[in-house]
Amino acid sequence: MATLPLSYPMSGGDGPHSYVRNSSYQKAAIDSVKEKTKEAISKILDFHNQPFKGEVFRVADFGCSFGQNTFDVVGNIIQTVELKHKQEKTEEEKIKNPKKELEFHVFFNDQPNNDFNTLFKTLPLLLSTRRCFAYGVPSSFYGRVLPRNSIHIGHTSYTLHWLSKAPEDVGDRNSPAWNKDSIQCTSLVGEASNAYRVQFKRDMADFIEARAEELVPGGLMIISGQCLPDDVSMVSTWKGVVIDMIGDCLFDMAKSGVTREEMVESFNLPIYFPNTSELEEVIEQNGCFRIEIMEEVKHPMEDETLSNDFIVSKFRAIFHGVIEEHFGGGLIDELFGRFAKKLTSYPVDFKKCRKDMQYFIVLKRYVF
Ligand code: SAH
């Protein structure tokens, strides 16, 4: 039997540790670009040339997870497109087809072990009407997941820091890139960080290339997520500090015999926050898109001192899958119990940490 590629879904269901109940940080980021998304679609989408000639408008959310975040994103896109379509209907169309309204295909993409059941059970009214048809697309977005020339607006948020895998070298004790003492890409220099950078560039290039094929000429790709200013290393941000602390808890657990030290040494998160220039470079290299918007946005919680409970729940919902994939089941409760205790003893000094960055990007597929 063919094995599925590695994937690390967010915590499923709707229990206390689920992504649904612990994704308000991502939700705040999505809300902060809601108006910008509307404006971009209104200004940049062009019905009268490409991309739209028929009556079915196709929207895809790549790495949708499940729950309110993806519904809000897709709902916002649909409402904006509908409004624009009504406003721009030509007089001739109004006379010919006074009642005809736009219909939508909405494609929810994520890895096959994402909780698609919860997603489809909780579809809001807007997305389950007879004018809006929802589909699940279970596959890695680092390859093609939809037919060529089929999507008018693609969207992805808080996804592209997830690599297709941790670079092999960083978990290999015989490699100069062996990342023995940490579970993440901590710094800006060195072999390990270089291996992460190479993996990110390869993955991001694959993502952009696949979307270039799936989008219709003139179609829009809206991307938001997290990166780092060029001179900031992951470990100097609060997120990096917290991830290192989770790594320390794993090493403590190895000392107590709950797991083995080699298991922790070979564990590396498949996560990389690119520097802004790396991000821009990969997009430009593809050559199929014009960068219409690429800007920094302020995360609404950027200046807040987040509570320890909030931090523990957020990271548990996100890392549950990836940690179980490497260590097997059974250590999550203990790990996050230890993490909560460590955070109480060593609270994050948010004022001392450097800031990571949120980006908002809108690409338009060239009409060659
Ligand atoms: N977009 C949602 C979810 C972000 S969490 C939001 O903004 O709230 C990141 C999601 O990306 C997870 O659901 C994870 O499974 C998905 N993901 C990560 N790598 C992926 C890949 N290669 N292909 C498809 N989905 C992926």
Quick: pLDDT tens for 282-332: 999 989 999 999 999 999 888 888 999 999 999 999 999 999 999 998 899
Per DSSP, what are the bridge partners of residue 137?
109
Question: Quick one: pLDDT at residue 189?
Answer: 86
Question: Quick one: pLDDT at residue 49?
Answer: 66
CB of 313 closer than 6 angstroms to any ligand 1 atom? no
- How many Å lie between the centroid of ligand 1 and the Cα of residue 99? 38
Instruction: Name the nearest CA neighbour of 234 among 303, 156, 296, 182.
Output: 182
Question: Quick one: pLDDT at residue 50?
Answer: 61
Q: Is the pLDDT of residue 2 over 50?
A: no
> Would strands 215-227 and 357-365 be described as parallel, antiparallel, or unpaired?
antiparallel
- How many Å lie between the centroid of ligand 1 and the Cα of residue 12? 13
pLDDT tens digits along 193-251: 999 999 999 999 999 999 999 999 999 999 999 999 999 999 999 999 999 999 999 99
- How many Å lie between the centroid of ligand 1 and the Cα of residue 359? 16
The sheet that has 357-365: what strands, in order across it? 132-138, 103-110, 56-62, 151-157, 215-227, 357-365, 289-297
Rg (CA), the chain: 21
Mean pLDDT in residue range 261-272: 95
Q: Is the pLDDT of residue 278 over 80?
A: yes
Instruction: Name the nearest CA neighbour of 196 among 229, 164, 173, 174.
Output: 164
**What is the chain's percent helix, strand, coil content, to nearest 5?**
40, 20, 40
Tell me the domain boundaries of the chain.
24-365
CB of 11 closer than 6 angstroms to any ligand 1 atom? no
- 3-state DSSP assignment of residue 231: coil
Instruction: Name the nearest CA neighbour of 152 among 106, 111, 119, 120.
Output: 106
For the record, the structure tokens of 235 come out as 């470990």
Distance, in Å, from the CA atom of 218 to the CA atom of 239, rounded to the nearest integer, reads 37
Instruction: Name the nearest CA neighbour of 296 among 360, 229, 213.
Output: 360
Q: What is the fold of 24-365?
A: Rossmann fold (3.40.50)
- Residue 30 alpha carbon, nearest atom of ligand 1: 7
Output the DSSP codes for 316-345.
HHHHHHHHHHHH-SS-HHHHHHHHHHHHHH
Instruction: Name the nearest CA neighbour of 159 among 118, 208, 87.
Output: 208
